[in-house]
Structure 1
Amino acid sequence: MSLSGMVLLHPQQAANIIILFGTVAIIQLIVSFAIDDENLSYNGRQIYPYVSVMLVIFWLWTEGLDKISGNLRKPLVNLLASGREPGGNVRSAAPSLEAAGGSTEEIFIKLFLIGFIYSVLAALLMGASLTEVFKDSSNRLYKQGERIAFSSSSLNFLVIYLTAGFIAIVGLFFVYILADQSRQYFRHYSFMMVIVTVLGSLALAQILKIVSRNISRRRVTTAVSILFIVFLLFSVPIIHISPYLYQESEHVPESQMKGFETAFNHQEEGVQFVFIRSTTSRYHDAIIGERKRIDYTGAGNVPYHFSEEGDLRSQYEEETYLVVTNRDRTRDRDLHRGVRYTREDYEHFDNGKGINRIQDNGGFTLYRITPPPE
């Protein structure tokens, strides 16, 4: 039931689970029917019936949802299309990050350092376990008389299962990277890190077990405690979006919601909304829903650094609403340091010709732009 529930809650993560468990099922079948080695005998429960049921539910659920099936097909379409450059979104964001005072190296350290350390530990355990699989049973890896890699025990079978499943998911992850689907491949990365965390912890336990033979247990425990405190100090700041990552908080103040609600309720028919960063359509879906549909054709962001080009109203041919929130002002002025919109751009809203402030509650400001006479 839990596997079926995952299909309904998050089909993309359900696809990761299907790949993981599907790989495990294949290994179980190989071990049960193809390998004649008593050290590799397996008497556990086969999971392929459960995987098969989950796969059927996944297919039935996603087949009728165009958005989900489209998201699954899009990476393959982009991968086969010419002109796609892997990492294009990252390269396009690098100049903005540098202009805001950061760097890709800094962001990598903040976001991925701990994960990278665990990945190295997990890779060591994966490599040792895979090496053991392909060795002769009489030539296995031992350390001071104790087997530390793959054996017929349930724990080491688990390592092999997770290793094989991880390799399969990595293949899907790289498909998304090569297809330049930046909004998607980090979802697969997060699932991969679940496996890495488990295997990295097992590898760390093995290393500590070996080290404790030559160093007192008290010293090892102290060193591990300090290590995890350092890991925690690096990990906590990235749990939530914050200026530490050069991103604003996702918190939406009540004044902003109330401002959008008032604007929607008093919107003149046929007048479009444009915005700085706070996408109007998302607030409409949250506040109005299906009760009143708004045509957003042509609506979008105000042009970047528009004040350098002169009059903002010359950008529009018809009457237009302009939404500006305090989050927008703080984000551009203090966090992003004018990468997209400068202080002069915001001053233009109050000083420019043909731009009239028609609503302001302290956290939300609505302007009406009147195009210049022909």
Structure 2
Amino acid sequence: MRRSALNVVLAVGFLALSVAVLLARATPATGYEASIYAATPTGTWVALAVAFAVAIGVTLVARGRYQALGIVLGSTAVTTVVALPVIRNYRYMGMGDALTHLGWTKDFLSGAMLPHELLYPGMHSLATLLHLTGGVSPDRGLLLAVVFVFVPFVVFVPLIVRDVTGNATAVGFAAIVSWFVLPVNKVATHMGIHTNSNALFFVPVVVFAVVAYTRRRAALEALPVGLSPYTVLVIVGGAGLLLIHPQQMVNVVIVLAVISLVQYAARRRLDDHPILEHPTTYAHTFVLGTLFVVWVASNERFRNAFLGLIYGLFARDIGAGGEVDQRGSSLTEIGGSLTELFAKMFLVSAVVGLVVGLFVLFTWLGWTSLDRETKAFVTYFGVALFPLTAMFVVYFVGTPTMAFRQVGFVYVLITILAGVALAHLFGWLSGPITTPGANALAAVFLGACLVLGLLTIFTSPFIYSPTQHVTDQKMSGYESAFDRTDGRAYAGFGFGVERYGDGINGVEGAENVTYAGEGEGVVDVDEFENESYGSAYDGEYYFVATEYDVEREIEVYRELHHSESALRGIDTYPGANKVISNDEFRMYSVESAA
């Protein structure tokens, strides 16, 4: 394609991206949105589709400056999708851990907690900084922090592949696969304020530093004390990752340890190999490993999590088998199935993972045409997948949620390897079907994967989980609710009230509030459905129902746990009085009926 044509195509792409942002910004959320996808203007999605189509096409066929512009266009487009809660002026996003993280941020600001007292203060500290320097609210500061930490993922993945291969085609494929956001699996890793997930997007910074350290060995790059600047970047990046979340720091240490072991084995057994010319990573492994141990050793939260894992390994009633069976049964009852949900959430990951797995195997069998230097890095990352997968198995038996967090890290490495693997695959296909044909096939394949990948980046009814949008009305309702000081317990309609106590009062300041349902703040399902509203919690408590709860229990779950008739019944129950009400929040004072 000629330069003039590329200029026009790129101009159309960037114009479409600008239109997408302006349309989304011009249509802010005015109330609770069960699906951020459906609520975002159709014009925004059409404009983003144009931008992505241009980005994929230019990234695949162009080289040099034009390919770089194509990557910038696509990376900015996917960042726009990630930033939709900010662009569309959401008050907040996330109702589980995200609200507790908001509470910790407020604790930092109030002085009730200091950053070093929290195991992973990185995101909260960044939000605090944005609040103090930019004047944004703590909740918006966290939403912005999510976007800021995401950006390194789409920037450094193609940079890693460029250093590993020096192949522009592989760089282009790696950039496009990074737009799929494969580390987010919606089981235990999420797009939002979730520090373990946020840490995944910072991992490529450390991996890039490791790759650059082994590849760029010019004396001119040495610091005055004899250290490589990339060594400093590895240590500083690793420390930053530790502050965002230690679990992902452990995984980086494992990768470094594997690289060290491969280097050690190569030096003992080989006489001529590129690995022999790579500077060793022994010191990096030791320093980051020591840093991790020092940071977590005195933290009670880490000790409890570790003990919980050990207990889970030996307890028969803990593990993923029973949980999967239960969820499969629930999905069937609401008209879905595990097969359908797997296809929506994991089909793209499975296909890309299969391609990468076969590529690594073929490379080790000598069936690929990679140069020896690139093969060395494929070996580093490929061998690292074995202990990382072994850790997944341990987590799967002990604490299933942690297992799927481990999958998130594995898919950071798979995203990097996918660039090399797909470049090789479609390069091979260019023989029988010509280069333009292979590029066209690649564009269709990648476009389809991108659509499905971005459809599940946020929760929505598409995957049987409404968007966790926290509105002004809902937050205002809870603020008024927690102002009451009569000591009654709070109980929510299917979703726990306790997390809102964290988000509004701070985690340290929420201790004086009492929550029903063993401290989580939920009504007893059986008693509520039997309309025995006043028989629980000594006959005196506050019952809360929000628009999110109704959408979740009635529309998405199709009355699987709670029925609409039971919810309506509380309005006519003699012992219930509505004490707070707005468009999205209702709270009743419930007592035993006379």
| TM-score normalised over the length of structure 2 | 0.57
Asked if 1:101 corresponds to 2:335, the answer is: yes
Match of 2:549 among 303, 307, 328: 328
1:152-186 deviation digits (Å, cap 9, x = unpaired):
x221111000011111100000111112x232211
User: For each residue in 1:292-343, what CA deviation from the matched residue of structure 2 results, as whole angstroms up to 9, or x when unmatched?
Assistant: 6224374432122545534221233231111111111122221111011111
Is the CA contact 2:263–2:275 (under 8 Å) kept in the aligned structure 1? no
RMSD: 1.9
Q: Which residue of 2 aligns with 1:114?
A: 348
Instruction: Give the direction of change, closer, same or farther, for the CA distance of 1:86–1:359 in structure 2 (3 Å limit).
Output: closer
> In the TM superposition, what is the alpha-carbon distance from 1:52 to its structure 2 partner?
0.8
Decide whether the 8 Å contact of 1:19 with 1:169 is kept in 2.
Answer: yes
Check the 8 A contact 2:381/2:413 in 1, yes or no. Answer: yes
Distance in 1 of aligned mates of 2:241 and 2:333: 41
Corresponding residue for residue 223 of structure 1: 441
Shift of 1:36: 3.1
Query: Looking at both structures, which has the greater relative contact order when contacts are Cα pairs under 8 Å and sequence separation is at least 6?
Result: 2
Cross-structure match for 1:173:
392
The whole-number CA distance in structure 1 between the counterparts of 2:500 and 2:532 is: 28
Looking at structure 2, the residues matched to 238 and 283 of structure 1 have their Cα atoms a distance apart, in angstroms, of 25
The residue number in structure 2 matching 1:80 is 314
Which residue in the other structure is 1:44 paired with? 278
For structure 2, list consecutive stretches of 5 or more residues without a partner in the other structure: 1-235
Q: Distance in 1 between matches of 2:537 and 2:593?
A: 9
Distance in 1 (alpha carbons) for counterparts of 2:418 and 2:245: 26
* 1:185 corresponds to: 403
d(CA) in 2 for partners of 1:200, 1:76 = 34
In structure 1, distance between residues paired with 2:433 and 2:509: 69
Identity of aligned residues (%): 24
Instruction: From the superposition, tell whether residues 17 and 69 of structure 1 become closer, same or farther in structure 2 (CA, over 3 Å).
Output: farther
Matches within 5 A, 1:233-272: 233-268=451-486, 270-272=487-489
Distance change >3 Å, CA 218–CA 54, structure 1 → 2: same
CA–CA separation in structure 2 for the residues paired with 1:312 and 1:69 = 40
Residues 253, 16 of structure 1: CA spacing in aligned structure 2 closer, same or farther, 3 A cutoff? Answer: same
8 Å CA contact 2:352–2:418 kept in 1: the answer is yes
293-302 or 254-263: which moved more? 293-302
Letter in 1 for 2:554: R
Q: CA deviation at 1:42?
A: 1.4
| CA distance in 2 between partners of 1:13 and 1:64 (Å) | 19
What is the letter of the counterpart of residue 237 of structure 1?
Answer: L
Tell me if the contact between 1:306 and 1:345 (Cα under 8 Å) persists in the aligned partners.
no
Quick one: which of 358, 365, 377 aligns to 1:124?
Answer: 358
Answer whether contact 2:578 2:587 (CA < 8 A) is retained. yes
Q: State yes or no: 1:276 paired with 2:493.
A: yes
1:17-62 CA deviation, whole Å, 9 max, x = no partner? 1111111111111112x11332465111111211111111100111
Alignment correspondent of 1:14: 249
Matched, 1:206 2:424: yes
In structure 1, runs of 5+ residues without a counterpart are 132-140
- Judged with a 3 Å threshold, the aligned counterparts in structure 2 of structure 1 residues 370 and 46 are, in CA distance, closer, same or farther, namely same
Question: How far, CA to CA, are the matches of 2:478 and 2:513 in structure 1?
Answer: 13
Range moving further from structure 2, 348-357 or 301-310:
301-310
Cα deviations by residue, 1:271-301 (Å, 9 ceiling, x for unpaired):
1111113422211122122446224374432
Q: Hey, what does 1:135 align to over in structure 2?
A: none
Describe the shift of the 1:37–1:221 C-alpha distance in structure 2 as closer, same or farther (beyond 3 A): same
3-state SS of 2:431 partner? coil
Quick one: structure 1 residues 66 and 307, their matched pair in 2 at CA, closer, same or farther if it must change by over 3 Å? closer
Question: Does the 8 Å contact 1:76/1:175 carry over to 2?
Answer: no
Cα distance between partner residues in 2 of 1:325 and 1:214: 59
The equivalent residue for 1:134 is: none
Aligned AA for 1:122?
A: V
2:482 aligned partner, one-letter code: F
C-alpha distance in structure 2 between counterparts of 1:218 and 1:23, whole Å? 39
Contact 2:426 2:439 in 1 (8 A): no
Task: Kindly indicate whether residue 586 of structure 2 is the aligned counterpart of residue 352 of structure 1.
Answer: no
Higher mean alpha-carbon deviation, 288-297 vs 115-124, is at 288-297
Q: Is the 8 A contact 2:553 2:559 kept in 1?
A: yes
SS of the aligned residue for 1:88 comes to: helix
Contact 1:311–1:352, Cα closer than 8 Å, also in 2:
no
Distance change >3 Å, CA 310–CA 250, structure 1 → 2: closer
> Which structure shows the bigger proportion of residues in helix conformation?
2
Residue 394 of structure 2 aligns with an amino acid whose one-letter code is V
Q: 1:343 aligns with which of 558, 564, 570?
A: 564
- For 2:572 and 2:514, how far apart are their aligned partners in 1? 29
Given that 1:307 and 1:348 are in contact with CA atoms closer than 8 Å, whether structure 2 keeps it comes out as: no
Q: Does 1:303 align with 2:524?
A: yes
Q: Whole-Å Cα distance in 1 between the matches of residues 463 and 238 of structure 2? A: 34
Q: Which residue of 1 is the match for residue 373 of structure 2? A: 154
Aligned to 1:138: none
Answer with 194-203 or 156-165: which moved more.
194-203
Letter in 1 for 2:246: P
Correspondence 1:24 to 2:259: yes
- Pair 1:38–1:265, CA change in 2 (3 A): same
Work out the CA distance in 2 between the residues paired with 1:255 and 1:113: 37
Maintained 8 Å contact 2:540/2:589: yes
Amino acid at match of 1:19: I
- The normalised TM-score by structure 1 is 0.89
Secondary structure of residue in 2 paired with 1:262: helix
Amino acid at match of 2:492: F
Asked if structure 2 preserves the Cα contact closer than 8 Å seen for 1:176 and 1:185, the reply is yes
One-letter code of the match for 2:395?
Y
* Maintained 8 Å contact 1:306/1:312: yes
- 1:253 offset after TM fit, Å? 0.7
Q: Do residues 55 (structure 1) and 289 (structure 2) align? A: yes
Larger Rg: 1
Cα distance, 1:101 vs structure 2 = 1.7
When residues 84 and 279 of structure 1 are mapped into structure 2, their CA distance, relative to the original with a 3 A threshold, is closer
Range with bigger deviation, 301-310 or 7-16: 301-310
For the structure 1 residues 357 and 166, does the alpha-carbon distance in structure 2 shift closer, same or farther, using more than 3 Å as the test?
A: same
